[in-house]
Structure 1
Amino acid sequence: MPAAPAEECPSALPLLKTPTAQLAVNGGSQHPDKRREGGHGPTLADEVEHLLPGAVHYSAPAVAEPVPAAEGQLPVPVPVPQHAGPRPPTPGEATWGPYAPVIARWERALGRAAPAATDARGRLATRFVEWMMGLRPGWITDVPDLTRSAELKALGNGVVPAQAAGALRLLLTRTGRA
């Protein structure tokens, strides 16, 4: 079987974190770097709310580019927009940043577009988590009387059907029952 091109190879693409039940009770999101400084890994909410362009807390990383200095003055680093460079952003990149290729691949696999990753308050959207897991729209998010916290807990405790099916196929193959 030929190797997948680098842009399609899962190990070569940045992936979003797996939803966990703790999304509902982790005290809110914080920048992934800050979470790591505290000795913890970032959560899905941390990544979506802080790393996706357009998110409430998002800021493009500052890149030092010297500004021509006047006689006797030091050059001043200036933040450069994330998409500065020789090419314009690809479709979806302005919304999904470095995750654009994997979001596009999952959209193709599911046959439907990704919903917004954040809600009106800038928090991780439960419909996005539901979509990431490959669940049908509304499987959790249309259940009456569930709070956002309960939805996130249910999604985080849930099983990703595609992963479960893959695991069962692998086990059945290894036992000779496939």
Structure 2
Amino acid sequence: MECPEAKPLLKTPTAQLATNGGSQHPDKRRAGGHGPTLADEVEHLLPGGAHYGALPNAERLDAPSPEQKHSRTPNAGEDAWGPYAPAISRWERISGRAAPPATNERGRLATAFVEWMMGLAPGWVTAVPGLTRAAQLKALGNGVVPAQASGALRILLDRANVGSAGP
């Protein structure tokens, strides 16, 4: 059961982000019995996304013009991040880095945004020479979020009582 105070979080990056046939509106993905992907949410629900304002089997809503789409990155807490504004702002504070644009120049999920979400150093994957966008998304989707790995190791070490005088 979901907590009523729970704030929406963006989906976890997965390895198939660039190879699953492209994004779909999250409602259409759910109607097909699947959960939306990070690309679905960014490209359809955030201004600047390639399909922002498009609804499944419906006319486009008030989507920004191409000139407006990529004019600037939303600031923390702005309506442009929609329901994800608190999560974006919180991660900016924790990481000490401003969120990069969520979309690239074509309105698709930006690999630098995924890298930032995971808490990786800028360019950790995106500055590797010769990697295509698809290869970057696959590497990021197959990667480990350092903060999660650290937390998991702490839990495991506590359970194992490492350093204790036990047997």
3-state SS of paired residue (1:137)? coil
TM-score with structure 2 setting the length: 0.79
Deviations 1:121-158 (A, max 9, x none): 00000000000000000000000000000000000000
What corresponds to 2:15 in structure 1? Answer: 21
Q: CA deviation at 1:92?
A: 3.0
What corresponds to 1:135 in structure 2? Answer: 120
**Which amino acid in the other structure matches residue 26 of structure 2?**
P
Structure 1 residue runs without a partner (length 5+): 1-8, 62-78, 81-89
CA separation of 1:102 and 1:118: change in aligned 2, threshold 3 A: same
**Which amino acid in the other structure matches residue 134 of structure 2?**
S
What fraction of aligned residue pairs are identical, expressed as a percent? 76
Q: CA deviation at 1:37?
A: 1.1
Structure 2 residue runs without a partner (length 5+): 56-60, 63-74
Deviations 1:68-119 (A, max 9, x none): xxxxxxxxxxx89xxxxxxxxx953232111000000000010010000000
Aligned-pair RMSD on alpha carbons? Answer: 2.3
Alignment of 1:113-132 (within 5 A): 113-132=98-117
Name which of 51, 60, 63 aligns with 1:57: 51
Partner Cα separation in structure 1 for residue 44 and residue 54 of structure 2: 10
Alignment of 1:78-157 (within 5 A): 92-157=77-142
**Which amino acid in the other structure matches residue 104 of structure 1?**
S
Partner Cα separation in structure 2 for residue 96 and residue 110 of structure 1: 18
* Greater Rg over alpha carbons, structure: 1
Following TM superposition, where does structure 1 have runs of at least 4 consecutive aligned residues deviating by more than 4 angstroms?
Answer: none
TM-score with structure 1 setting the length: 0.75
Name which of 26, 37, 40 aligns with 1:32: 26
The number of equivalent residue pairs is 144
What corresponds to 2:161 in structure 1? Answer: 176
